[in-house]
Structure 1
Amino acid sequence: MLEGLTDHPSAKDWNPGAAGLTLHTIVPCPDDPQKLWVGISAAGVFATEDGGASWQRRNRLSNAGACADHPHPAAPRDGETGHCVHNMVRAAGEADLLYQQNHHGVWRSADGGRSWDDITPGLPSTFGFPMAVHPGKPQTIWTLPLNGDSAGRYPPGAAAAVWRSRDGGATW
Protein backbone atom coordinates (compact mmCIF):
# COMPACT_ATOMS: atom_id res chain seq x y z
CA MET A 1 0.00 0.00 0.00
CA LEU A 2 1.22 3.48 -0.85
CA GLU A 3 -0.18 5.67 1.90
CA GLY A 4 0.73 8.82 -0.01
CA LEU A 5 -1.88 7.74 -2.57
CA THR A 6 -4.45 5.90 -0.42
CA ASP A 7 -4.48 8.77 2.09
CA HIS A 8 -4.54 11.51 -0.56
CA PRO A 9 -6.62 14.52 0.60
CA SER A 10 -9.03 13.99 -2.32
CA ALA A 11 -9.65 10.28 -1.48
CA LYS A 12 -12.84 11.01 0.46
CA ASP A 13 -14.36 12.41 -2.75
CA TRP A 14 -13.34 9.57 -5.08
CA ASN A 15 -16.39 8.19 -6.87
CA PRO A 16 -16.20 4.46 -7.68
CA GLY A 17 -17.28 3.74 -11.24
CA ALA A 18 -19.46 0.84 -12.36
CA ALA A 19 -16.50 -1.53 -11.91
CA GLY A 20 -15.60 -0.06 -8.53
CA LEU A 21 -12.64 2.01 -7.48
CA THR A 22 -10.00 0.36 -9.67
CA LEU A 23 -6.38 1.33 -10.21
CA HIS A 24 -6.16 0.14 -13.81
CA THR A 25 -3.34 2.09 -15.42
CA ILE A 26 0.25 2.40 -14.25
CA VAL A 27 2.53 4.50 -16.47
CA PRO A 28 6.24 4.49 -15.60
CA CYS A 29 8.85 6.98 -16.78
CA PRO A 30 11.77 4.99 -18.22
CA ASP A 31 14.18 7.89 -17.68
CA ASP A 32 13.25 8.51 -14.04
CA PRO A 33 12.23 5.59 -11.77
CA GLN A 34 10.96 8.07 -9.16
CA LYS A 35 8.28 9.31 -11.59
CA LEU A 36 5.02 7.41 -12.15
CA TRP A 37 1.43 8.12 -13.19
CA VAL A 38 -1.65 6.09 -12.30
CA GLY A 39 -5.23 6.14 -13.56
CA ILE A 40 -7.90 5.29 -11.00
CA SER A 41 -11.50 4.72 -12.08
CA ALA A 42 -13.30 6.99 -11.20
CA ALA A 43 -10.90 9.18 -9.20
CA GLY A 44 -8.63 10.40 -11.98
CA VAL A 45 -4.96 10.73 -12.80
CA PHE A 46 -2.33 10.94 -10.07
CA ALA A 47 1.43 11.42 -10.37
CA THR A 48 4.41 10.96 -8.12
CA GLU A 49 7.90 12.30 -8.67
CA ASP A 50 9.36 10.91 -5.43
CA GLY A 51 8.85 7.16 -5.84
CA GLY A 52 5.34 7.12 -4.37
CA ALA A 53 5.93 9.02 -1.13
CA SER A 54 3.62 11.83 -2.29
CA TRP A 55 1.07 12.15 -5.08
CA GLN A 56 -0.45 15.05 -7.02
CA ARG A 57 -3.85 14.97 -8.64
CA ARG A 58 -3.39 15.63 -12.37
CA ASN A 59 -6.87 16.19 -13.79
CA ARG A 60 -6.90 19.88 -14.70
CA LEU A 61 -8.29 20.88 -18.10
CA SER A 62 -6.45 23.38 -20.26
CA ASN A 63 -9.85 24.81 -21.21
CA ALA A 64 -12.34 24.76 -18.33
CA GLY A 65 -15.14 25.48 -20.84
CA ALA A 66 -15.01 21.80 -21.81
CA CYS A 67 -16.70 21.06 -18.47
CA ALA A 68 -20.10 22.45 -19.43
CA ASP A 69 -23.28 20.39 -19.80
CA HIS A 70 -22.18 16.88 -18.79
CA PRO A 71 -24.87 15.07 -16.74
CA HIS A 72 -22.81 11.93 -15.97
CA PRO A 73 -21.47 11.59 -12.37
CA ALA A 74 -17.92 11.11 -13.70
CA ALA A 75 -18.23 14.11 -16.03
CA PRO A 76 -15.82 17.03 -16.09
CA ARG A 77 -16.64 19.77 -13.62
CA ASP A 78 -14.79 22.58 -11.89
CA GLY A 79 -12.17 22.66 -14.65
CA GLU A 80 -11.19 19.00 -14.30
CA THR A 81 -11.37 16.09 -16.73
CA GLY A 82 -13.93 13.37 -16.19
CA HIS A 83 -12.40 11.36 -13.40
CA CYS A 84 -13.30 8.00 -14.88
CA VAL A 85 -10.02 7.51 -16.72
CA HIS A 86 -10.22 4.34 -18.82
CA ASN A 87 -6.68 4.20 -20.17
CA MET A 88 -3.56 6.33 -20.22
CA VAL A 89 -0.29 6.03 -22.17
CA ARG A 90 3.01 7.95 -22.26
CA ALA A 91 4.80 8.72 -25.50
CA ALA A 92 8.40 7.52 -25.63
CA GLY A 93 11.10 10.10 -26.16
CA GLU A 94 8.86 13.03 -25.34
CA ALA A 95 9.11 14.76 -21.98
CA ASP A 96 5.93 13.73 -20.15
CA LEU A 97 3.62 13.60 -23.19
CA LEU A 98 0.55 11.65 -22.06
CA TYR A 99 -2.69 10.60 -23.72
CA GLN A 100 -5.84 9.31 -22.04
CA GLN A 101 -9.22 7.89 -23.03
CA ASN A 102 -12.03 8.35 -20.53
CA HIS A 103 -15.81 8.60 -20.22
CA HIS A 104 -15.83 11.96 -21.97
CA GLY A 105 -13.26 11.81 -24.71
CA VAL A 106 -9.63 11.49 -25.65
CA TRP A 107 -7.21 13.92 -24.01
CA ARG A 108 -3.58 14.98 -24.48
CA SER A 109 -1.18 16.44 -21.93
CA ALA A 110 2.21 17.84 -22.91
CA ASP A 111 3.12 18.58 -19.27
CA GLY A 112 2.80 15.28 -17.44
CA GLY A 113 -0.91 15.65 -16.73
CA ARG A 114 -0.73 19.10 -15.15
CA SER A 115 -3.20 20.18 -17.84
CA TRP A 116 -5.18 18.27 -20.46
CA ASP A 117 -6.43 19.29 -23.92
CA ASP A 118 -9.51 17.68 -25.45
CA ILE A 119 -8.50 15.97 -28.71
CA THR A 120 -11.84 14.19 -29.21
CA PRO A 121 -13.14 16.30 -32.15
CA GLY A 122 -13.15 14.14 -35.28
CA LEU A 123 -13.90 10.88 -33.44
CA PRO A 124 -17.37 9.29 -33.70
CA SER A 125 -17.94 9.26 -29.91
CA THR A 126 -16.54 10.54 -26.64
CA PHE A 127 -16.36 7.16 -24.88
CA GLY A 128 -13.92 4.28 -25.08
CA PHE A 129 -11.22 2.25 -23.40
CA PRO A 130 -8.39 1.25 -25.79
CA MET A 131 -5.55 3.70 -26.27
CA ALA A 132 -2.06 3.17 -27.70
CA VAL A 133 0.87 5.32 -28.80
CA HIS A 134 3.46 4.35 -31.40
CA PRO A 135 6.74 3.35 -29.70
CA GLY A 136 8.85 5.53 -32.01
CA LYS A 137 6.42 8.22 -33.19
CA PRO A 138 5.02 10.12 -30.18
CA GLN A 139 2.38 11.95 -32.24
CA THR A 140 0.88 8.70 -33.61
CA ILE A 141 -1.90 7.37 -31.41
CA TRP A 142 -4.75 4.90 -31.78
CA THR A 143 -8.10 4.48 -30.04
CA LEU A 144 -11.25 2.44 -30.52
CA PRO A 145 -14.29 4.61 -29.72
CA LEU A 146 -17.38 3.03 -28.19
CA ASN A 147 -20.91 4.36 -27.99
CA GLY A 148 -21.03 4.94 -24.22
CA ASP A 149 -21.63 3.29 -20.91
CA SER A 150 -25.42 3.54 -21.03
CA ALA A 151 -25.72 2.57 -24.70
CA GLY A 152 -24.16 -0.87 -24.60
CA ARG A 153 -20.42 -0.21 -24.91
CA TYR A 154 -20.01 -1.30 -28.52
CA PRO A 155 -18.52 0.59 -31.48
CA PRO A 156 -20.75 3.25 -33.05
CA GLY A 157 -22.89 1.69 -35.77
CA ALA A 158 -21.84 -1.75 -34.43
CA ALA A 159 -18.80 -1.54 -36.74
CA ALA A 160 -15.44 -1.90 -35.03
CA ALA A 161 -12.93 0.67 -36.24
CA VAL A 162 -9.57 1.70 -34.86
CA TRP A 163 -9.00 5.43 -35.24
CA ARG A 164 -5.50 6.86 -35.75
CA SER A 165 -3.99 10.29 -35.43
CA ARG A 166 -0.51 11.10 -36.72
CA ASP A 167 -0.46 14.62 -35.30
CA GLY A 168 -1.12 14.08 -31.60
CA GLY A 169 -4.90 14.21 -31.97
CA ALA A 170 -5.20 17.42 -33.99
CA THR A 171 -6.85 15.32 -36.72
CA TRP A 172 -8.16 11.74 -36.88
Structure 2
Amino acid sequence: MSNTLWLSTRKGLIQYTRQGLQWQPVATHFLGDPVSFTLHDGRDNTVYAALNLGHFGPKLHRSDDGGKSWQEIACPKLPEQKEGEEDKSASAQMASVQMIWSMAAGGADQPGRIWAGTIPGALFRSDDRGDSWQLVESLWQREERKQWFGGGYDQPGIHSICVDPRDSRCLRLAVSCGGVWLSKDDGKTWHSRAKGLRNAYMPPERAYDEIVQDPHLMVQCRAQPDWLWIQHHNGIFVSDNGAESWREVEDVKPSVFGFAVAVHPEDGKRAWFVPGIKDERRLPVDQQLLVNETRDAGKSFTAHRQGLPTEPSYDLIYRHALAIDQSGQALAMASTTGNCWLSADQGRSWQCLSNYLPPVAAVCFGPEQA
Protein backbone atom coordinates (compact mmCIF):
# COMPACT_ATOMS: atom_id res chain seq x y z
CA MET A 1 0.00 0.00 0.00
CA SER A 2 1.21 3.51 -0.77
CA ASN A 3 2.95 5.44 1.96
CA THR A 4 2.46 8.97 0.63
CA LEU A 5 -0.65 11.05 -0.05
CA TRP A 6 -0.71 14.44 -1.77
CA LEU A 7 -3.61 16.87 -1.28
CA SER A 8 -3.92 19.68 -3.82
CA THR A 9 -5.67 22.47 -1.92
CA ARG A 10 -6.56 26.12 -2.25
CA LYS A 11 -3.75 27.02 0.18
CA GLY A 12 -0.95 24.72 -0.89
CA LEU A 13 0.10 21.12 -1.51
CA ILE A 14 -0.22 19.12 1.71
CA GLN A 15 1.86 15.96 2.05
CA TYR A 16 0.88 13.05 4.30
CA THR A 17 2.94 9.93 4.98
CA ARG A 18 1.91 6.62 6.49
CA GLN A 19 3.67 5.74 9.72
CA GLY A 20 2.58 2.27 10.69
CA LEU A 21 -1.21 2.34 10.74
CA GLN A 22 -1.41 6.13 11.05
CA TRP A 23 -1.17 8.91 8.49
CA GLN A 24 0.53 12.15 9.50
CA PRO A 25 0.96 15.50 7.71
CA VAL A 26 4.66 16.10 7.16
CA ALA A 27 4.85 19.20 4.96
CA THR A 28 2.89 21.91 3.17
CA HIS A 29 4.46 22.99 -0.10
CA PHE A 30 3.63 26.30 -1.86
CA LEU A 31 1.91 27.57 1.28
CA GLY A 32 -0.95 29.92 0.44
CA ASP A 33 -0.98 29.14 -3.30
CA PRO A 34 -3.85 27.25 -4.98
CA VAL A 35 -2.74 23.86 -6.33
CA SER A 36 -5.02 22.52 -9.07
CA PHE A 37 -3.49 19.09 -9.70
CA THR A 38 -0.65 16.83 -8.59
CA LEU A 39 0.82 13.95 -10.60
CA HIS A 40 3.01 11.17 -9.26
CA ASP A 41 4.91 9.59 -12.15
CA GLY A 42 5.47 5.99 -11.08
CA ARG A 43 8.11 5.45 -13.77
CA ASP A 44 10.72 7.48 -11.88
CA ASN A 45 8.82 8.71 -8.77
CA THR A 46 8.83 12.31 -9.99
CA VAL A 47 6.07 14.53 -8.57
CA TYR A 48 4.55 17.37 -10.61
CA ALA A 49 2.48 20.13 -8.97
CA ALA A 50 0.33 22.51 -11.01
CA LEU A 51 -0.45 25.88 -9.40
CA ASN A 52 -3.31 28.16 -10.39
CA LEU A 53 -2.22 31.67 -9.43
CA GLY A 54 -5.13 33.60 -10.92
CA HIS A 55 -3.87 36.95 -12.17
CA PHE A 56 -0.32 35.54 -12.44
CA GLY A 57 -1.48 32.50 -14.39
CA PRO A 58 -0.70 28.81 -13.99
CA LYS A 59 2.72 27.57 -12.87
CA LEU A 60 4.25 24.10 -12.84
CA HIS A 61 6.82 22.62 -10.44
CA ARG A 62 8.69 19.30 -10.35
CA SER A 63 10.25 17.36 -7.47
CA ASP A 64 12.74 14.53 -7.93
CA ASP A 65 13.14 13.78 -4.23
CA GLY A 66 9.65 13.21 -2.87
CA GLY A 67 8.93 16.87 -2.13
CA LYS A 68 12.16 17.77 -0.33
CA SER A 69 12.92 20.30 -3.06
CA TRP A 70 11.06 21.71 -6.05
CA GLN A 71 12.10 23.15 -9.40
CA GLU A 72 9.86 25.45 -11.41
CA ILE A 73 9.60 24.19 -14.96
CA ALA A 74 7.95 25.34 -18.16
CA CYS A 75 4.19 25.76 -18.25
CA PRO A 76 1.97 24.87 -21.23
CA LYS A 77 1.16 27.94 -23.32
CA LEU A 78 -1.03 28.55 -26.32
CA PRO A 79 0.76 30.05 -29.34
CA GLU A 80 0.55 33.81 -29.60
CA GLN A 81 -1.43 35.20 -32.51
CA LYS A 82 0.81 37.18 -34.82
CA GLU A 83 -0.02 40.84 -35.30
CA GLY A 84 -2.38 41.30 -38.21
CA GLU A 85 -2.97 37.56 -38.53
CA GLU A 86 -6.59 36.41 -38.43
CA ASP A 87 -7.09 33.45 -36.11
CA LYS A 88 -9.55 31.09 -37.78
CA SER A 89 -9.38 28.40 -35.11
CA ALA A 90 -12.38 27.36 -33.08
CA SER A 91 -10.81 28.90 -30.00
CA ALA A 92 -9.80 32.35 -31.15
CA GLN A 93 -11.39 33.85 -28.05
CA MET A 94 -9.41 31.56 -25.76
CA ALA A 95 -6.06 33.27 -25.89
CA SER A 96 -4.30 31.77 -22.88
CA VAL A 97 -4.15 28.76 -20.61
CA GLN A 98 -6.28 29.47 -17.57
CA MET A 99 -5.53 26.32 -15.55
CA ILE A 100 -3.74 22.98 -15.79
CA TRP A 101 -6.67 20.67 -15.00
CA SER A 102 -5.07 17.25 -15.52
CA MET A 103 -1.76 15.52 -16.17
CA ALA A 104 -0.79 11.96 -17.07
CA ALA A 105 2.48 10.12 -17.51
CA GLY A 106 3.29 8.49 -20.82
CA GLY A 107 4.06 4.82 -21.19
CA ALA A 108 7.08 2.92 -19.97
CA ASP A 109 8.45 3.12 -23.51
CA GLN A 110 8.19 6.93 -23.51
CA PRO A 111 10.67 8.21 -20.89
CA GLY A 112 10.10 11.87 -20.14
CA ARG A 113 6.65 11.94 -21.80
CA ILE A 114 4.01 13.89 -19.86
CA TRP A 115 0.55 14.93 -21.05
CA ALA A 116 -1.35 17.95 -19.71
CA GLY A 117 -4.99 18.92 -20.18
CA THR A 118 -5.99 22.53 -19.65
CA ILE A 119 -8.77 25.07 -19.52
CA PRO A 120 -9.52 26.06 -22.25
CA GLY A 121 -9.76 22.56 -23.72
CA ALA A 122 -6.23 22.05 -24.98
CA LEU A 123 -3.92 19.04 -24.81
CA PHE A 124 -0.16 19.50 -24.45
CA ARG A 125 2.73 17.04 -24.69
CA SER A 126 6.17 17.19 -23.11
CA ASP A 127 8.99 14.77 -23.95
CA ASP A 128 11.50 16.20 -21.48
CA ARG A 129 9.72 15.93 -18.11
CA GLY A 130 8.04 19.31 -18.46
CA ASP A 131 11.04 21.39 -19.50
CA SER A 132 9.16 22.25 -22.70
CA TRP A 133 5.63 21.71 -24.03
CA GLN A 134 3.99 21.38 -27.43
CA LEU A 135 0.32 22.03 -28.15
CA VAL A 136 -1.41 19.05 -29.80
CA GLU A 137 -2.63 21.03 -32.79
CA SER A 138 -4.57 18.12 -34.29
CA LEU A 139 -7.09 18.28 -31.44
CA TRP A 140 -7.01 22.05 -30.98
CA GLN A 141 -7.94 22.68 -34.60
CA ARG A 142 -10.80 20.20 -34.91
CA GLU A 143 -13.99 21.71 -36.30
CA GLU A 144 -16.08 20.09 -33.55
CA ARG A 145 -14.43 22.34 -30.97
CA LYS A 146 -16.78 25.12 -32.04
CA GLN A 147 -19.53 23.22 -30.22
CA TRP A 148 -17.60 22.62 -26.98
CA PHE A 149 -18.60 24.72 -23.98
CA GLY A 150 -17.80 25.04 -20.31
CA GLY A 151 -19.27 22.83 -17.59
CA GLY A 152 -18.41 24.09 -14.12
CA TYR A 153 -16.08 26.67 -15.69
CA ASP A 154 -16.75 29.30 -18.34
CA GLN A 155 -14.57 27.52 -20.90
CA PRO A 156 -14.31 23.83 -21.86
CA GLY A 157 -11.53 21.82 -20.28
CA ILE A 158 -9.72 18.48 -20.53
CA HIS A 159 -9.86 16.83 -17.12
CA SER A 160 -9.24 13.15 -17.96
CA ILE A 161 -6.27 11.66 -19.84
CA CYS A 162 -6.06 7.87 -20.05
CA VAL A 163 -2.91 6.37 -21.59
CA ASP A 164 -3.56 2.78 -22.63
CA PRO A 165 -1.10 0.51 -20.75
CA ARG A 166 -1.01 -1.88 -23.71
CA ASP A 167 -0.10 0.78 -26.26
CA SER A 168 1.32 4.15 -25.23
CA ARG A 169 0.27 5.65 -28.54
CA CYS A 170 -3.39 5.10 -27.63
CA LEU A 171 -4.96 7.99 -25.68
CA ARG A 172 -8.50 8.58 -24.46
CA LEU A 173 -9.60 12.01 -23.27
CA ALA A 174 -12.73 13.34 -21.61
CA VAL A 175 -13.80 16.96 -22.00
CA SER A 176 -16.31 19.14 -20.16
CA CYS A 177 -18.30 19.78 -22.25
CA GLY A 178 -16.97 18.06 -25.35
CA GLY A 179 -17.41 14.32 -24.91
CA VAL A 180 -14.76 11.60 -25.21
CA TRP A 181 -11.95 11.45 -27.77
CA LEU A 182 -9.63 8.65 -28.91
CA SER A 183 -6.26 8.76 -30.65
CA LYS A 184 -4.42 5.59 -31.68
CA ASP A 185 -1.43 7.36 -33.21
CA ASP A 186 0.08 9.40 -30.38
CA GLY A 187 -2.25 12.34 -30.90
CA LYS A 188 -1.89 12.79 -34.66
CA THR A 189 -5.57 12.05 -35.35
CA TRP A 190 -8.68 11.98 -33.16
CA HIS A 191 -12.07 10.27 -33.19
CA SER A 192 -15.14 10.87 -31.04
CA ARG A 193 -15.92 8.00 -28.66
CA ALA A 194 -19.02 9.18 -26.77
CA LYS A 195 -21.58 6.82 -28.32
CA GLY A 196 -24.23 6.00 -25.71
CA LEU A 197 -23.58 8.96 -23.43
CA ARG A 198 -26.75 10.90 -22.75
CA ASN A 199 -27.33 14.42 -21.51
CA ALA A 200 -30.53 15.87 -20.10
CA TYR A 201 -29.50 19.53 -20.33
CA MET A 202 -29.75 19.77 -24.14
CA PRO A 203 -32.90 19.67 -26.31
CA PRO A 204 -34.24 16.09 -26.62
CA GLU A 205 -33.06 15.74 -30.20
CA ARG A 206 -29.48 16.34 -29.03
CA ALA A 207 -29.55 14.16 -25.92
CA TYR A 208 -27.14 11.64 -27.49
CA ASP A 209 -25.07 14.16 -29.43
CA GLU A 210 -21.50 13.02 -28.78
CA ILE A 211 -19.91 16.45 -29.15
CA VAL A 212 -21.79 18.18 -26.31
CA GLN A 213 -21.58 15.53 -23.58
CA ASP A 214 -20.36 16.51 -20.10
CA PRO A 215 -18.30 13.70 -18.55
CA HIS A 216 -17.16 14.84 -15.12
CA LEU A 217 -14.35 12.27 -14.95
CA MET A 218 -13.23 9.22 -16.92
CA VAL A 219 -11.00 6.48 -15.48
CA GLN A 220 -9.49 3.35 -17.01
CA CYS A 221 -8.67 0.02 -15.35
CA ARG A 222 -4.93 -0.63 -15.42
CA ALA A 223 -5.07 -4.44 -15.79
CA GLN A 224 -8.24 -4.51 -17.94
CA PRO A 225 -7.94 -1.30 -19.98
CA ASP A 226 -11.00 -2.00 -22.13
CA TRP A 227 -13.02 -1.22 -18.99
CA LEU A 228 -13.62 2.50 -18.47
CA TRP A 229 -16.01 4.38 -16.20
CA ILE A 230 -17.47 7.87 -16.50
CA GLN A 231 -19.16 9.94 -13.83
CA HIS A 232 -21.22 12.17 -16.10
CA HIS A 233 -23.29 15.22 -15.26
CA ASN A 234 -26.28 13.13 -16.24
CA GLY A 235 -25.32 9.86 -14.50
CA ILE A 236 -22.92 6.91 -14.46
CA PHE A 237 -21.67 5.22 -17.64
CA VAL A 238 -19.44 2.18 -18.23
CA SER A 239 -17.66 0.74 -21.25
CA ASP A 240 -16.16 -2.75 -21.60
CA ASN A 241 -14.92 -2.25 -25.16
CA GLY A 242 -12.36 0.52 -24.91
CA ALA A 243 -14.91 3.37 -25.19
CA GLU A 244 -16.28 2.16 -28.50
CA SER A 245 -19.68 2.47 -26.80
CA TRP A 246 -21.05 3.35 -23.36
CA ARG A 247 -23.85 1.88 -21.25
CA GLU A 248 -25.81 4.01 -18.81
CA VAL A 249 -26.08 2.64 -15.26
CA GLU A 250 -29.54 3.39 -13.93
CA ASP A 251 -31.45 3.19 -10.64
CA VAL A 252 -28.45 3.96 -8.43
CA LYS A 253 -29.48 5.10 -4.95
CA PRO A 254 -29.43 7.70 -3.57
CA SER A 255 -28.30 9.49 -6.77
CA VAL A 256 -26.52 8.93 -10.09
CA PHE A 257 -25.02 12.43 -9.94
CA GLY A 258 -21.51 13.16 -8.73
CA PHE A 259 -18.07 14.27 -9.84
CA ALA A 260 -15.62 11.59 -8.73
CA VAL A 261 -15.06 7.99 -9.78
CA ALA A 262 -12.27 5.50 -9.05
CA VAL A 263 -11.81 2.08 -10.66
CA HIS A 264 -9.96 -0.88 -9.15
CA PRO A 265 -6.56 -1.25 -10.86
CA GLU A 266 -7.01 -5.02 -11.32
CA ASP A 267 -10.77 -5.43 -11.76
CA GLY A 268 -12.60 -3.27 -14.28
CA LYS A 269 -16.03 -4.21 -12.91
CA ARG A 270 -15.27 -2.60 -9.52
CA ALA A 271 -15.69 1.16 -9.11
CA TRP A 272 -16.44 3.75 -6.42
CA PHE A 273 -18.55 6.92 -6.59
CA VAL A 274 -19.62 9.73 -4.24
CA PRO A 275 -23.27 10.63 -4.98
CA GLY A 276 -24.73 14.10 -4.55
CA ILE A 277 -27.42 16.56 -5.60
CA LYS A 278 -26.58 18.28 -8.86
CA ASP A 279 -26.70 21.72 -10.40
CA GLU A 280 -26.93 24.66 -8.00
CA ARG A 281 -27.05 22.61 -4.77
CA ARG A 282 -24.04 20.30 -5.02
CA LEU A 283 -24.06 18.60 -1.65
CA PRO A 284 -24.70 15.05 -0.37
CA VAL A 285 -28.20 13.64 -0.79
CA ASP A 286 -30.13 14.30 2.43
CA GLN A 287 -26.83 15.77 3.68
CA GLN A 288 -25.54 12.24 4.33
CA LEU A 289 -22.08 11.61 2.90
CA LEU A 290 -21.47 8.09 1.58
CA VAL A 291 -19.37 6.20 -0.95
CA ASN A 292 -21.07 3.86 -3.42
CA GLU A 293 -19.23 0.76 -4.64
CA THR A 294 -20.13 -1.65 -7.43
CA ARG A 295 -18.38 -5.00 -7.92
CA ASP A 296 -20.46 -6.23 -10.84
CA ALA A 297 -20.18 -3.49 -13.48
CA GLY A 298 -23.09 -1.47 -12.10
CA LYS A 299 -25.68 -4.22 -11.66
CA SER A 300 -25.71 -3.55 -7.90
CA PHE A 301 -24.20 -1.05 -5.46
CA THR A 302 -23.19 -1.07 -1.81
CA ALA A 303 -23.28 2.18 0.19
CA HIS A 304 -20.36 2.61 2.60
CA ARG A 305 -20.83 4.99 5.53
CA GLN A 306 -18.68 3.61 8.36
CA GLY A 307 -16.37 6.33 9.64
CA LEU A 308 -18.05 9.09 7.61
CA PRO A 309 -20.05 11.89 9.27
CA THR A 310 -23.38 10.94 10.80
CA GLU A 311 -24.39 14.58 11.27
CA PRO A 312 -25.57 16.71 8.31
CA SER A 313 -22.74 17.09 5.80
CA TYR A 314 -22.04 19.72 3.16
CA ASP A 315 -19.02 17.97 1.63
CA LEU A 316 -18.59 18.05 -2.13
CA ILE A 317 -15.95 15.72 -3.55
CA TYR A 318 -14.47 17.22 -6.71
CA ARG A 319 -13.71 15.06 -9.75
CA HIS A 320 -10.03 14.52 -8.87
CA ALA A 321 -10.57 14.31 -5.11
CA LEU A 322 -11.22 10.55 -4.89
CA ALA A 323 -8.26 8.26 -5.59
CA ILE A 324 -7.26 4.62 -5.26
CA ASP A 325 -3.66 3.49 -4.80
CA GLN A 326 -1.83 1.10 -7.09
CA SER A 327 -2.44 -1.86 -4.77
CA GLY A 328 -6.19 -1.40 -5.03
CA GLN A 329 -6.42 -1.55 -1.25
CA ALA A 330 -6.45 2.09 -0.13
CA LEU A 331 -8.75 4.93 -1.15
CA ALA A 332 -8.60 8.57 -0.17
CA MET A 333 -11.07 11.40 -0.64
CA ALA A 334 -11.23 15.02 0.41
CA SER A 335 -13.81 17.75 0.13
CA THR A 336 -14.47 21.39 -0.61
CA THR A 337 -15.18 21.93 3.09
CA GLY A 338 -11.69 20.84 4.15
CA ASN A 339 -12.32 17.29 5.32
CA CYS A 340 -10.18 14.32 4.31
CA TRP A 341 -10.77 10.59 4.82
CA LEU A 342 -8.79 7.46 4.05
CA SER A 343 -9.90 3.85 3.72
CA ALA A 344 -7.45 0.95 4.10
CA ASP A 345 -10.06 -1.70 3.27
CA GLN A 346 -11.27 -0.77 -0.22
CA GLY A 347 -13.85 1.73 0.98
CA ARG A 348 -15.73 -0.38 3.51
CA SER A 349 -14.67 1.87 6.39
CA TRP A 350 -13.05 5.30 6.60
CA GLN A 351 -10.83 7.19 9.02
CA CYS A 352 -10.76 10.98 9.14
CA LEU A 353 -7.32 12.48 8.54
CA SER A 354 -8.34 16.11 9.08
CA ASN A 355 -11.34 18.42 9.44
CA TYR A 356 -9.30 21.61 9.06
CA LEU A 357 -7.93 21.65 5.53
CA PRO A 358 -8.45 24.29 2.85
CA PRO A 359 -10.86 23.27 0.06
CA VAL A 360 -9.32 20.27 -1.74
CA ALA A 361 -9.23 20.05 -5.55
CA ALA A 362 -7.39 16.74 -5.96
CA VAL A 363 -5.82 13.83 -4.11
CA CYS A 364 -2.98 11.61 -5.31
CA PHE A 365 -1.14 8.58 -3.87
CA GLY A 366 2.60 8.02 -4.13
CA PRO A 367 5.50 7.90 -4.37
CA GLU A 368 6.47 5.15 -1.94
CA GLN A 369 8.15 6.36 1.20
CA ALA A 370 11.92 5.95 1.12
> Does 2:296 align with 1:167?
yes
> Does 2:193 align with 1:58?
yes
TM-superposed CA distance for 1:84, in Å, is 1.1
| Aligned twin of 2:149 | 15
TM-superposed CA distance for 1:78, in Å, is 5.0
TM-superposed CA distance for 1:157, in Å, is 0.7
Match among 190, 196, 221 for residue 91 of structure 1: 221
After superposition, the Cα gap between the structure-2 partners of 1:78 and 1:128, relative to the gap in structure 1 and judged at 3 Å, is closer
| Aligned twin of 2:270 | 140
CA distance in structure 2 between the aligned counterparts of 1:6 and 1:75, rounded to whole angstroms: 28
CA contact (8 A) 2:230 2:261 kept: yes
- Bigger radius of gyration: 2
Judge which range, 159-168 or 76-85, deviates more: 76-85
CA contact (8 A) 2:271 2:295 kept: yes
Runs of 4+ in 1 over 3 A off after TM superposition: 73-76
Match among 26, 40, 44 for residue 161 of structure 2: 26
CA distance in structure 2 between the aligned counterparts of 1:75 and 1:141, rounded to whole angstroms: 30
CA contact (8 A) 2:224 2:267 kept: no
Query: Quick check: which one's strand share is greater?
Result: 2
Q: Percent identity?
A: 29
TM-superposed CA distance for 1:137, in Å, is 1.9
> Does 2:166 align with 1:37?
no
CA distance in structure 2 between the aligned counterparts of 1:75 and 1:90, rounded to whole angstroms: 29
| Aligned twin of 1:105 | 235
**TM, length-normalised to structure 1:** 0.87
TM-superposed CA distance for 1:95, in Å, is 4.4
Please give the secondary structure, in 2, of the residue aligned with 1:40: strand
After superposition, the Cα gap between the structure-2 partners of 1:18 and 1:27, relative to the gap in structure 1 and judged at 3 Å, is same
TM-superposed CA distance for 1:140, in Å, is 0.8
Deviations 1:24-51 (CA, angstroms, capped at 9, x unpaired): 1111111100001111111111111100
TM-superposed CA distance for 1:148, in Å, is 0.2
CA contact (8 A) 1:87 1:102 kept: yes
Match among 77, 91, 95 for residue 206 of structure 2: 77
Please give the secondary structure, in 2, of the residue aligned with 1:169: coil
CA distance in structure 1 between the aligned counterparts of 2:238 and 2:206, rounded to whole angstroms: 18
CA distance in structure 2 between the aligned counterparts of 1:80 and 1:13, rounded to whole angstroms: 11
TM-superposed CA distance for 1:75, in Å, is 8.4
TM-superposed CA distance for 1:155, in Å, is 1.2
TM-superposed CA distance for 1:94, in Å, is 1.9
TM-superposed CA distance for 1:92, in Å, is 2.3
Please give the secondary structure, in 2, of the residue aligned with 1:45: strand
User: Structure 2 unaligned runs (5+)?
Assistant: 1-134, 302-370
| Aligned twin of 1:114 | 244
What is the total number of aligned residue pairs between the two structures?
A: 165
CA distance in structure 2 between the aligned counterparts of 1:26 and 1:121, rounded to whole angstroms: 28
1:10 counterpart letter in structure 2: E
| Aligned twin of 1:131 | 261
CA distance in structure 1 between the aligned counterparts of 2:183 and 2:206, rounded to whole angstroms: 23
